[in-house]
Structure 1
Amino acid sequence: MKKIQYEKRLSGLRAYIEDHGLTGALITSYENRRYFCGFTGSSGYLLVTRDHVVLITDKRYTTQAKEQTVDCEIVEHSQDRLRLVADTMKRLGITSSVMESGMTAGEYFSLKEHLGDHRTVLEDEYFLELRMVKDEWEIEATREAIRRAEAGFDRLIPRLKIGMTEKDLADELHYLVNREGAEAMSFGTIVASGARGAMAHGFPTNKVIENGDMVVVDFGVMYDGYCSDMTRTLLFGDISQENRRIFNLVLESGKRAVEAVRPGVHSSEVEAAHRAVFIREGLDDYALRGLGHGIGLQIHECPRVQIGKDTVLRPNMIFTIEPGLYFPGVCGVRTEDDVLVTESGVENLSHTPHEIHIE
C-alpha cells in the first residue's frame, strides 16, 4: 500500500489526539495495528504522536515489520516489553494518550505503574468509526474476498446431494474456497438444515440433510486481511408450500433493503425497509433485531444496521444485508449480500443467485 494511504489513516488518529488534548496514542489490537501501519504480526505495540510512528515488537517479527511498514521506527523488545513501551512513550514525549479499551487489565495496570502521572483515555468506538468508510485499496481487497468465496461456493453446488451431512457440506466448502485462494475463513462456518435452521448461528453437525430441508449456509473468507460474508438458504428436494412462502418473504425483505441504500439515508431506514415485509405478514416476532453489519478487517464492524443504532450512510461504506426468519423446531431462512454505498446509490458486491435448488 502507498505511503499516502497510511498518512491519511494516521491523520484521523492524530485528529483524535489533537481534539482531546493528548500527546500520543497506543494501539494494541491486531486490526488497528494493521490499519495504521500495515504490520500483520500477532504481537506488537504501535505508538503514534504528531510526528512519529513507532512499532515495538519481538525478534520473531522485526524483519517482517521493516518490510511491511512505511516511515515507521521498529523497536525490538525482549523480556520486559511493557517497561520498554513505557520508556519509549516517555522518549517520544507522550505524557497523555488514547489507548484501546480492549487491552487486558494486566497490561493496562502494568503500563500505568511504569508511566506514573499519565492521563489515559480509553477508546474503541472511534477506531471502528474511522475504519467505517473504506479506501480504494480496502474496497478492492473486499471484492477479492467476495470473489474467492463465491467461486468456491459455485464449485460446491454440483457436489451437494440429499443424504450428505451438514459437516460434509462445510468440509467440502472449506476445501474449495481454499483452492480459490482464500487465506482463511472469516468466522466459523454455519450450516444448519431443517429445524436446525432456526438456530441463527448453528454450526455444522453430523445431521443428515433430508429431502425437503432448507439449509442455511453462512460463511466468509479473508483476502489480504479483509473479510467477506455471505449466506444462502439452499433448497433440497421437495420444499413445502409454507416453507417456500417463508423463503420468498426473506428474499423480498432483502431486496427492499438493498433498494433503500444510498448516501444520506439513515441505516435505520434501511432496517425499517426490510422489516416492513415481516410486519406486513405478521412475522416480525420471528426475525432478529438487526439487519446487518459492516465488514472489513473484522467480520463485525461499523456501521451497525440494527434496531437502536443509527448511522448516516456515506459513500464507500461496506456492510451486510442479511434478513432472516427463524421458527423454533420448524425451520429457518436467511439470505445475505455484501453491499457498497456508492456516490449515487448502492452496488451489490454479491453475485451468487439467492435461489438454489439441490435435487
Structure 2
Amino acid sequence: MDRKETYQKRLAGVYSYMDAHQLDGAMFTSYENRRYYCGFTGSNGCLIITRDKVCLVTDKRYTTQAQQQTIGVEVIEHAANRLSLVADTIKKCGIKKMVMESCMTVDEYFPLKEKMGDIDVVFEQEYFLEQRMVKDAEEIACTKAAIAAAEAGFDKLLPRLKTGMTEKDLADELHYLVSKEGAEAMSFGTIVGSGARGALAHAFPTSKKIEDGDMVVVDFGVLKDGYCSDMTRTLLFGNVSEEHMRIFNLVQESQDKAIAAIRPGVMAKDVEDAHRAVFLRENLDDYALRGLGHGIGLQIHECPRIVIGNETVLKPGMIFTVEPGLYFPNDCGVRTEDDVLVTENGVENLSHTPHEIHIG
C-alpha cells in the first residue's frame, strides 16, 4: 500500500464517524492524530477534514516540511492570527457541524468557538484512539524497528553493569547506547528502581547505588520513526535471595500465562484474568497493580487497555504490552514486560531479550 492509499484508508474512518453523526467536518490538533491522518510531524498544526478536502493550518517554520510530508493536503500558513485563520478555513470549507478532539485547551477552545460563530461542535476522543488500535503493515514495521533499537542498546548495556554503580549511571548509559542504535528519543522517562525502590512502579533513577542481592527494575522505551517501544526487565545483581527469586519466577509465570491466552476473538479482560490467576493462587494479588498492559503506537499508552473488566475484543494488528508485576513496599519489586502483536492465528512476541538476566 502506497502512502496515498494509507492515508485514504485512515481518513475513511473519519468519514464513517462524520456520516454516522451527520457532520460536515472534523478537526485534529494533537500531534499523534495529525501525523496519523496526513503524515505531518511538526509540533504546530490544525488539521481540518471534510469529504472534499483536507487542510493543514501551520506556521512558517513548517510550511515546506508540511508540503513535503503530506499528499493531497492544502497547507495554509498562518502568522499571528492562527485561531482566526483556523475559524475562517472551517467556514470556507462549508462546515456547519464538526467533531473535534477533546484535547484542545480551554484557553484556545473558547476564543476559537467565538470566532467560529454558530458552527456546532461535538467532542470525541475514544473513537479515534480505537481507530489507531489496529496497526497496518507500516506501523507494525516501525514498532518492530523501535523494539530492535531498544533491545540492541540494552544488549550492549548489560556487559557494562556492575554492583556499586548508581541507578542514574545505568539510565545514562542506556540512553546513550539506544541513541547509537538509531533511537530518536526515549518514549517516556526511564524507570530504574533497585532493591526496595523496585517497589515504586515508576521509580525515577537516583544516585542510589546498586547493591549485591538487589533486583533492579529497568523499564524503558524508545521512539523510532515516530513509533514507541516499551520493555521492562528486572535484573538480578549478585546473590539474590531465594524468596526474591520465588517472586521473580511467579511474575514470569504470570506473563507466560497471559501471552498463552492471546489470540483474535478473546477479550482484553480474559488475558488480564489469565495472568492474575497466578497471583490469586499465591495470595499475592494485593501486591499487584490493577492492569496488565496497554497498547503502544504513536503514543506510549494507547488502546487496547489490558485491564480488569475491559471487554475490547482482540483483533489481528493490535500491539500491546504484557507487563505483570509484584511490588512489596520497603522490600522489592519485580516487573517483566514484552510487546506483543495479535496475529491472524494467535500472537507474536516482538520482544526477544531474555527475561532472567544475572549481573555479577
The bucket for the TM-score relative to the shorter chain is over 0.9
1:61 match: secondary structure: helix
| Structure 2 counterparts to residues 178-257 of structure 1, below 5 A | 178-257=179-258
Matches within 5 A, 1:249-288: 249-288=250-289
Matches within 5 A, 1:1-359: 2-359=3-360
Number of aligned residues: 359
* 1:263 counterpart letter in structure 2: P
Give the alignment's TM-score, normalised by structure 2: 0.99
Equivalent-residue separation in structure 1 for 2:83 and 2:345 (angstroms): 48
* Equivalent position SS for 1:60: helix
Do the aligned residues in 2 keep the contact of 1:304 with 1:310 (CA within 8 Å)?
A: no
Report the residue type matching 2:5 in the other structure: I
Task: Give yes or no for contact 2:152–2:178 (8 Å, CA) kept in 1.
Answer: yes
Secondary structure of 1:26 counterpart = strand
Secondary structure of residue in 1 paired with 2:61: coil
CA–CA distance in structure 2, aligned partners of residues 85 and 162 of structure 1: 57
The answer to whether the 8 Å contact 1:193/1:214 transfers is yes
For residue 300 of structure 2, what is the amino acid of its counterpart? I
CA drift at 1:116: 1.0
The residue identity in structure 1 corresponding to 2:59 is D
User: What is the root-mean-square deviation of aligned Cα atoms in Å?
Assistant: 0.6
Structure 2 CA distance, aligned partners of 1:333 and 1:51? Answer: 53
SS at the partner of 2:130? helix
C-alpha contact 2:267 2:310 (8 A) present in aligned 1: no
Which whole-Å CA distance do the structure 2 matches of 1:107 and 1:278 have between them?
Answer: 47
Kindly provide the CA deviation profile for residues 51-101 of structure 1, in whole angstroms up to 9, marking residues without a partner as x.
Answer: 100000000000000000000000000111111001011100011100010
Aligned counterparts of 1:79 and 1:247: Cα–Cα separation in 2:
56
Residue deviations 1:82-133 (CA, integer Å, cap 9, x gap): 1100101110001110001010112111111011111111111111100000
- Contact 1:77–1:84 (CA<8 Å) still a contact in 2? yes
Question: Letter of the aligned partner of 2:43 in structure 1?
Answer: S
Gaps of 5+ in 2: none
Q: Is the 8 A contact 1:43 1:58 kept in 2?
A: yes
Runs of 4+ in 1 over 2 A off after TM superposition: none
Q: Structure 1: any 5+ residue segments left out of the alignment? A: none
Q: Which stretch shows the higher mean deviation, 146-155 or 107-116? A: 107-116
The answer on whether the counterparts of 2:254 and 2:274 sit within 8 Å (CA) in structure 1 is: yes
Matched-pair contact (CA < 8 Å) for 1:268–1:310: yes
Shift of residue 21, structure 1, vs aligned partner:
0.6
Distance, in Å, in 2 between the alignment partners of 1:61 and 1:2 is 20
Q: For residues 292 and 324 of structure 1, what CA distance do their matches in structure 2 show?
A: 11
Percent identity for Structure 1 against Structure 2: 71
Q: What is the rounded CA distance, in whole Å, between the counterparts of 1:285 and 1:271 in structure 2?
A: 15
- Quick one: distance in 2 between partners of 1:108 and 1:21? 22
Give the Cα separation in 2 of the matches to 1:337 and 1:42: 30
Q: 1:307-342, CA deviations, whole angstroms, 9 ceiling, x for partnerless residues?
A: 142210000000000000000000000000000000
Q: Distance in 1 between matches of 2:309 and 2:82?
A: 41
Distance in 1 (CA, whole Å) between partners of 2:179 and 2:64 is: 28
Q: Deviations over 1:280-307 (max 9, x none)?
A: 0000000000000000000000000011
